[in-house]
Structure 1
Amino acid sequence: MMKLEEMKRVLKESLPPKRYKHSVNVYETALELAATHKLPAEKIAVSALLHDCGREVGSKESVAKARELGLPIDDVELQQPILLHAKIGVYNAMHKYGVADQEILDGILYHTTGIDGMTPLAKVVFLADMVEPGRDFPGVEELRRLARKDLDKAMLLAYGNTIRYLLDEGQLIHPHCISGYNELLLAAKKQ
């Protein structure tokens, strides 16, 4: 695996400036959350930095690129190709940046949809992507506060916000998002 500084250099050359700045913001936010929740920072740093490395391929080209790479594409991704940047990102992380650690790759893979059974690393990457300083949407401050306090409660709020947004926009909701939400809500109801 490439060293972190080398990853930053390659990523900066691969992404538009605005997307690179977002990636660095997510990286820094994820490291803050890792420290707050006493989680190992090394893997989180790599996963957070590279979470959007698949965005070097534009959404319009992502279906063709995913097919070219032999990546599976589900019906929701076919209708909302922006989601494919996560799978393309995993491919890039492995083949361009030398990442082999499955937990790091899962953090990249599930940073957009979430899924049930997410590790603390994947939750931190998911939440850091939503609450980094460049993000501004109704409820982001509450989500930032909760992310520093309780990862599962923050994930539940993030899923709820995402699902409401997708419903309001008349967009498909990925089954992974629903399964992640249901898992956390069931766990919360048992407490």
Structure 2
Amino acid sequence: MADKKTIGIYKAYLKEHLSKKRYTHSMNVANSAVELAKRYGADADKAYVAGLLHDVAKEIPALELAAIVSKSSLDVCDIEKKAVPLFHGIAGAELVQTLFDIHDPEIISAIRYHTVACGNMPKLSQIVYLADLISADRDYKDVKKMRKYAEQSLEKAMFEALKFSIKDSVEKGNTIPVSTLEAYNDFADNSK
């Protein structure tokens, strides 16, 4: 996939455009994504790139993100167009195409859906979604449980992660994108 020089370019961009904390998180997600890719038979190089770049747009001002989202050629539901915290996944998927000439559909999808998930979710997208949730810097209440699920089964981990995410959104009174519900329904059907 990407050679060391190209990875160096990605890292230099992230160091310049992200806080130290967010850059560390990006590195941790890349490393977790590689581990999960090796465990579950996905492309480890693509997992590294998608994990590394998943938050490339995270610290762009909301107005700039909104402009990118409004022009996006990706499938974006109305709920996402109104939810500023979700903009960075869509914007990141757009930016890696223009900034780094990355057009691999698996990587684009993994960055696009790393926060909201989607129905018929590709394996690499699942891996980056989970890697983001269980990366070494995460310390929320159930993170150890989520890491354990991720070691046992990709499908079980996704189902538990989606239940956790939806419950958290409901408790906060947040809206839930259609793609998240579609992902949940897919994994709920498969868990029976």
TM-score, structure 1 normalization:
0.91
In structure 1, the residue matched to 2:72 is 71
> 2:182 is matched with which residue?
179
1:120 aligned onto 2:123: yes
Structure 1 position 50, deviation (Å): 0.6
Deviation sequence 1:114-145 (CA, Å, 0-9, x none): 01111111111000000001112222111101
Computed over aligned residues only, the root mean square deviation of the Cα atoms, in angstroms, reads 1.6
CA contact (8 A) 2:37 2:127 kept: yes
In the alignment, the residues of structure 1 paired with residue 64 and residue 98 of structure 2 have an alpha-carbon distance, to the nearest angstrom, of: 19
User: In 1, Cα distance between the equivalents of 2:28 and 2:117?
Assistant: 20
Displacement of 1:65 in angstroms is 4.0
Q: Which residue, 32, 50, 62 being the options, matches 2:65?
A: 62
Q: Tell me the residue number matched to 1:158.
A: 161
Aligned to 1:104: 107
The answer as to whether partners of 1:26 and 1:128 remain within 8 angstroms in 2 is yes
- Report the residue type matching 2:23 in the other structure: Y
Note if 1:10 corresponds to 2:17: no
CA distance in 2, matches of 1:135, 1:43: 22
For the residue of structure 2 that corresponds to 1:54, the secondary structure is coil
State the AA in 2 paired with 1:49. Answer: L
Q: Report the Cα distance in structure 2 between the residues aligned to 1:19 and 1:96, rounded to whole angstroms.
A: 19
What letter matches 1:155 in structure 2? M
Give the TM-score, by structure 2 length.
0.91
Distance 1:28 1:122 in 2: 15
SS at match of 1:171: coil
What letter corresponds to residue 136 of structure 1 in structure 2? Answer: D
TM-aligned CA distance change 1:4 to 1:168, over 3 Å: same
Partner of 1:93: 96
Give the gaps of 5 or more residues in structure 1: none
SS at match of 1:55: coil
Question: Distance between the aligned counterparts of 1:66 and 1:39, measured in 2?
Answer: 29
Alignment partner of 1:139 out of 127, 137, 142: 142
Q: One-letter code of the match for 2:139?
A: D
Deviation at 1:61, TM superposition (A): 4.3
Matched-pair contact (CA < 8 Å) for 1:60–1:81: no
Matched to 2:137, the amino acid is: G
Percent pairwise identity: 32
Counterpart in 1 of 2:28?
25
Q: Does 1:41 align with 2:44?
A: yes
| Distance (whole Å) between structure 2 residues aligned to residue 162 and residue 33 of structure 1 | 20
Q: Which runs of 5+ in 2 are unaligned?
A: none
Q: Quick one: structure 1 residues 39 and 176, their matched pair in 2 at CA, closer, same or farther if it must change by over 3 Å?
A: same
> Could you list the runs of 4 or more consecutive aligned residues of structure 1 that deviate by over 4 angstroms after TM superposition?
none
